[in-house]
Structure 1
Amino acid sequence: MKKLITILLVFASFVAFAQRNDKPLVQFTGVIFNADSTNVVVPFVNITNQSNKDAVYSANYKGYFSFVVHEQDTLKFTAVGYAPVTVVIPAKVTSKSYTAQVLIKPQINNLPVVRLFPWATTDEFRKDFVSARIADDDLEVARKNIMRATLFASQNTLPRDGHEIQSANANQFHNNIVNSHSITNPLLNPLAWGSLIKSISDGDKSRGSSSN
């Protein structure tokens, strides 16, 4: 009985193979385009001949393909990010060449939502939430920038720019010129008082000696 079943299976396979080879060969050629825009080609699309032991072909970078199939073969076009498309070669192709413009439509795959919760327990979340410091808004940042303490600290730490240095040098140069041509009052100089007192004393002595 087992031998009979085996013989029948082999015979059926042979008949199917014979029928498969009876189908005429066809040169299948075409270009693959984006269904949403026919001016955009889809490169490197995989083409599987489901009627011929899932033989796999591939389109080039311009979406062009050309290979030999049999009439009534079923071919599946697949690409990452696109919905699969099936094309069946028609029967009784007169020119032994079949050309097709294959359109495949982009497919959006929604990934499952992933929620990240960095706290191990809700108690830790409450603790961090209560102790969290809220960032200052633009108005508060501006108020802090014009505070007296902030301006004073900036004045002592920030270096002078070119304009400030030029103004300071010009003022110093002007003061030097003014002081070089001015007459200094000796009475305003405490160091000159000793010389003045000594000169007056010497003058009194000389007048006393001359009167004698």
Structure 2
Amino acid sequence: MKKLIGLFFFLCIAISAFAQKQERPLVQFSGIVHNADSTGVIVPYVSIINSTNQNQVNISNYKGYFSFVAHEQDTIRFSSVGYASISIVIPANITSKSYTLQVMLKPQIINLPVFHVFPWATTEEFRKDFISMKIADDDLELAKKNLSRASIQTLERNLARDGGEMNGFQDFHNGVLNSHSITNPLLNPFNWGSLIRQISEGDKSRNSDSSN
């Protein structure tokens, strides 16, 4: 008998609570989500969860606007990545059957722990790769390689000549041609004969002058 009485009271309480829940008026809940630290900056795509009504989920659009049907005294939670979550309660006895709110979310900075990436599976693999690792050359070694004879010869063979270098080469070529065009007269045997004849004629003229 006591069990039946207890069950009856439990059913009455449950029915009463359900009736009170059903009796709460519906409200059109609307608003825009903004950044609390920056005036006029909206927060798009915010998750809006009605904790009272079976965690019903709504999402604001890209302009931060939301609008959905809820009950008076429902608890609504707003959350977004990078912002601290807040919860609000829709007030009771709303005469216009619509409730508009400007929600302000405060940015939240979360410092995550440092994560080190270790690409070697074991310490032995790391030691082996470290010993066989080739150390990059410093600036002095790179300069020596770039100024070596083999490197310069490779550049001469592969790189095109610029305008200034071509002008200098052309001047040198013209100078060589001009130097070959001027010959030494003493290297010509015919000039030797002419020179000997001029000397002989000069001696004769001196002899004739002395006899007079």
What TM-score does the superposition give when structure 2 sets the normalisation length?
0.69
Partner of 2:71: 70
Written as runs of structure 1 = structure 2, the 5 A alignment for 1:144-155 is: 144-147=145-148, 150-155=151-156
Q: Distance in 1 between matches of 2:148 and 2:44?
A: 63
Aligned pair in 2 of structure 1 residues 179, 36: CA closer, same or farther (>3 Å)?
Answer: same
- Quote the Cα distance in structure 2 between the aligned partners of 1:45 and 1:128: 48
Match of 2:94 in 1: 93
Unaligned runs of 5+ in 2: 193-212
| Structure number having the greater strand percentage | 1
Residue aligned with 2:15, SS = helix
SS in structure 1 of the partner of residue 41 of structure 2: strand
Aligned pairs (5 A) from 1:1-212 = 11-111=12-112, 113-147=114-148, 150-176=151-177, 179=180, 182-183=182-183, 185=185, 187=187
Change (3 A) 1:9 1:81: farther
SS at match of 2:99: strand
Q: Deviations over 1:142-190 (max 9, x none)?
A: 344344554455345433223212322343345445655x4564736xx
Query: How far has the Cα of 1:107 moved from its partner?
Result: 3.3
- CA apart distance, 1:127: 3.4
CA shift for structure 1 position 23: 2.0
Across the two proteins, how many residue pairs are aligned to each other? 190
Separation in structure 2 between the aligned mates of residue 93 and residue 6 of structure 1, nearest angstrom:
36
SS at match of 1:133: coil
Secondary structure (helix, strand or coil) at the match of 1:20 reads: helix
The worse-fitting range, judged by mean Cα deviation, of 59-68 and 7-16 is 7-16
| RMSD, matched Cα | 3.5
1:80–1:147 distance in 2 versus 1, CA, 3 Å: same
**Kindly tell me: are residues 71 and 123 of structure 1, through their superposed partners in 2, closer, same or farther at Cα, counting changes over 3 Å?**
closer
Q: Residue in 2 aligned with 1:199? A: none
Q: 1:58 to 1:8 in 2, by over 3 A?
A: farther
Q: Give the CA deviation at 1:30.
A: 1.2
Q: Secondary structure at the match of 1:93?
A: coil
In structure 2, distance between residues paired with 1:6 and 1:139? 93
Between the two proteins, what is the percent identity of the paired residues? 51
Match of 2:209 in 1: none
Q: TM-score, normalised by structure 1?
A: 0.69
State the Cα distance separating 1:122 from its structure 2 match: 2.8
